[in-house]
A and B are shown apart, each in its own frame.
Chain A
Amino acid sequence: MTDHTSSPWHRATAGLLFVLAALWIYLVWNAPIDRVQGVVQKILYVHPPTAFAMYLGFVLTGVGGALYLWRGDARYDRFAASSAEVGVLFAVLMLLSGPIWAKGTWGKWWSWDLRLTLTLVQFMVYVAYLLLRSFTEGSERAARFAAVYGIIGVVLIPLNYFAIDLAAGRSIHPENLGDGSLGEGMRAPFWAGVVTSLTAFAYLLVRRLEVGGLRAEAAHREAHDALGAEG
């Protein structure tokens, strides 16, 4: 039996995450306090990075699903399921950090603008994805259904964007968080946050894939033993 707990991927991402997180905390600690928003502005170093990781998770879910339907290999399905789970985790982090920042700067917890609404919809789609997996009997069928639903969830992102854009009011959410809009001294902690968040995503994905692999192995062994007992 392979020792899953010490795979090179696991060790590499864990080590990298440890170093990056320390650097990120140092940079955020020393980042200047925003003159208008105060200390609450430092959520900038958490909120958009978790959003990037969330969208990465959802796109990978669609990609994993498509590969599964194409190749029929259960490993792709485990990859899609793991990406969705980690993506939903980051979505929760983002949906928690966002309103705290919004209350501090806009004076209200939520605004029904394009980006917020779209993200909430995507979050609901992937929660439904996870429920579909757990309510479907038979791993092959669950994988197939989930793949179809996961792909549809990604394919419809542009359509949802277009639709909500038509209905949403004028946005108060910052439009671009690129280099240009970041103030003096904010660039380094922001990008450190993005890299740390994506590394944390990779670490959790690797861990989740290992768990998925172990579960599949256990199920396989159980089936094998049952057949052995019958014979």
Chain B
Amino acid sequence: MNVLLAILGKDLLIEWRRRDRLVAMSVFAVLVVLILYFAAPPNRAEGGHAHVPGLLWVAYVFATVLGLGRSFALELENEAMSGLALAPADRGWIFLGKALANVLIVMVVQLLTAFAFALAFDLDLWPIAPALAGVSVLGAIGLCSLGTLFSAMAVRTTNREVMLPLLMLPLMIPVLLGAVRATQGLFEDGAVPASALQLLLVTDGVFLIVSFLGFEYVLDD
């Protein structure tokens, strides 16, 4: 548990001092929103907003992939990765510390993206803000759990930037389906469908367990 807090504190402190990841992710997410608006403008007719929840999650996912790529890249400096691998601690806790730091950073980016999205697509998100925040956090946990594990792998490959999305995206289908359906429910009738919530919770649980166990074999000194 102490290891988790130490890693979490370290990653957040680095982010606070440099702020490069947060700024890059946020600017990128806003650009994605801009492009999505021009690529698929909402039409004023009935049901013209049906695709909007999907677009919001496209922006979230792209920004998350960008940010996760940096998560372990910063450990390569000064051989910090070897330090992590040699630390006399359960590697699962190291994973949880990194993943939690990523979730918190992604949450900040989600908040900014949702704001930009509401402005661009002329949406009133205030009434559903708490529920949307809940769904976004559940989605962020799903994305960042397996994402953190794959980030540790991708950073050791020759095609780092390409490898992470290739590894991540095919396995993110359950998170995305759950999150998009939940958001769609919120947009349409202000409530999250139980099946979507269940899917998100189950997926988060499974992803966390799998990544916690798998991380043992991913760090090398």
Residues of A at the B interface (CB closer than 8 Å) are 69, 121, 124-125, 128, 131-132, 135-137, 141, 144-145, 147-149, 151-153, 155-156, 159-160, 162-164, 166-167
Query: Contacts A137-B158, A151-B214, A152-B214; is A166 near B167 (CB within 8 Å)?
Result: no
**A-B interface pairs (CB < 8 A), number:** 82
The answer to whether A166 touches B177, judged by C-beta atoms less than 8 angstroms apart, is: yes
Among B27-35, B113-121, B131-139, B168-176, which stretch is in contact with chain A? B168-176
Query: Contacts A135-B159, A137-B158; is A149 near B153 (CB within 8 Å)?
Result: yes
For the complex, give the distance between the alpha carbons of A162 and B159 in Å: 32
CB distance from B172 to the nearest CB of A (A): 10
Considering the complex, give the chain B residue whose CB is closest to the CB of A142: B157
The answer to whether B167 touches A167, judged by C-beta atoms less than 8 angstroms apart, is: no
Chief secondary structure at chain A's binding surface = helix
8 closest A-B pairs by beta carbon, nearest first, are A163-B174, A124-B170, A135-B157, A148-B214, A128-B166, A125-B170, A135-B159, A145-B153
For the complex, give the distance between the alpha carbons of A69 and B202 in Å: 26
The answer to whether A145 touches B156, judged by C-beta atoms less than 8 angstroms apart, is: yes
Contacts of A144 in B (CB 8 A): 217-218, 220
Query: Contacts A121-B173, A125-B170; is A152 near B210 (CB within 8 Å)?
Result: yes
CB distance from B213 to the nearest CB of A (A): 9
User: Is B71 an interface position by the 8 A CB rule?
Assistant: no
Interface 0/1 of B160-202, CB less than 8 Å to A: 0001001101110110011001000000000000011001001
Contacts of B173 in A (CB 8 A): 121, 160, 163-164
Supply 11 further A-B pairs (C-beta < 8 A) apart from A124-B170, A163-B177: A132-B153, A132-B166, A132-B167, A135-B157, A145-B156, A148-B217, A152-B214, A156-B174, A156-B210, A164-B177, A166-B181
19 CB-based A-B contacts, threshold 8 Å = A121-B173, A125-B170, A128-B166, A128-B170, A131-B163, A131-B166, A135-B159, A137-B156, A137-B158, A148-B214, A149-B150, A152-B210, A153-B171, A155-B206, A156-B174, A166-B181, A166-B195, A166-B196, A167-B177
The answer to whether B157 touches A136, judged by C-beta atoms less than 8 angstroms apart, is: yes
User: Is B203 an interface position by the 8 A CB rule?
Assistant: yes
Contacts of A162 in B (CB 8 A): 174, 199, 202
